[in-house]
Amino acid sequence: MSRRSGILEFAVLGLLRESPMHGYELRKRLNTSLGVFRAFSYGTLYPCLKTLVTNGWLIEEPGNTPEDALATPLSGRRAKIVYRLTAEGKEHFEDLLSQTGPDAYEDEHFAARFAFFGQTSRDVRMRVLEGRRSRLEERLEKMRASLARTRERLDDYTLELQRHGMESVEREVRWLNELIESERAGRDQRRPGPDGSAQQDNTSGESGGLPRPGDTPGPDPSDDTAT
């Protein structure tokens, strides 16, 4: 299975964990909620769905909307198929959510993983965020070193493009720093107090006090800084 196919399967399982959907609804959610999948077509989505059904992670059910009720052999219309997550599919998705290997830090996979942070435990969120930050800091060092070596040979426009790429990475590192600090603050707030009183479990999927939308820019899935 390719990395890109794996990302799509992860996202499909995550969306269907929220509720069963038609293929059209799934594609719409992938396009609107997870921008990394804007270029995906039905020709990519349906083979993925068939694979997930074959693996026993999804089941196909007839639609139950009024439009589906009108779809009969005589009408020439086909009823839409609804895809539902199975118990095995839910277990498989939860296993994927717990993984914090290098793939979780890469550009496309990180965007998909971040979209489902609300369903991810705090400890896993921290490891993924810290791994992503480390990966970007390494990238930033390489970009700075490359710019220092080639600065004199670059024209003004190429130089400006290089600077723009560096600024994008620096902006995401700052954003990650704020997220990590928010996660840590949320965890600290839930530790047992001096009196031994019980506090909320710090491995839950709650946000732990994330920055409010608009406070800092998030990663732009369309911003390819991995040059």
- Closest by CA to 30, choosing from 9, 1, 50, 60, is 9
pLDDT of residue 171 exceeding 70 = yes
Range scoring the smallest mean pLDDT among 21-30, 135-144, 201-210 = 201-210
Q: What is the pLDDT of residues 41-75, one digit of tens each?
A: 667 888 999 999 999 999 999 876 555 544 455 54
Q: Which pairs from 130-139 meet CB under 8 Å and 24+ separation? A: 130/180, 131/100, 131/102, 131/104, 131/105, 132/104, 132/105, 132/176, 133/173, 133/176, 133/177, 133/180, 134/105, 135/102, 135/105, 135/106, 136/169, 136/172, 136/173, 136/176, 137/173, 139/169, 139/225, 139/226
Q: How far apart, in Å, are the Cα atoms of 34 and each of 42, 103, 158?
A: 16, 17, 31
Phi, psi of 84 (to 5 degrees): -125, 140
Look at 115 and 2; give whichever has higher pLDDT: 115
pLDDT of residue 79: 64
Query: Rounded to an integer, what distance in angstroms lies between the CA atom of residue 122 and that of residue 206?
Result: 7
Could you tell me which residue, 209 or 4, shows the higher pLDDT? 4
Q: Whole-model pTM above 0.75? A: no
Bigger pLDDT: 219 vs 154? 154
State percent of the chain over pLDDT 70. Answer: 70
Beta-sheet strand order (sheet of 58-62): 21-22, 81-85, 58-62
Q: To the nearest whole number, what is the mean pLDDT of the chain?
A: 79
* pLDDT reported for residue 211: 44
Q: What pLDDT band is residue 152 in, cutting at 50, 70 and 90?
A: confident
pLDDT at 108: 77
Q: Is the pLDDT of residue 209 over 50?
A: no
Check residue 198 and give its pLDDT: 41
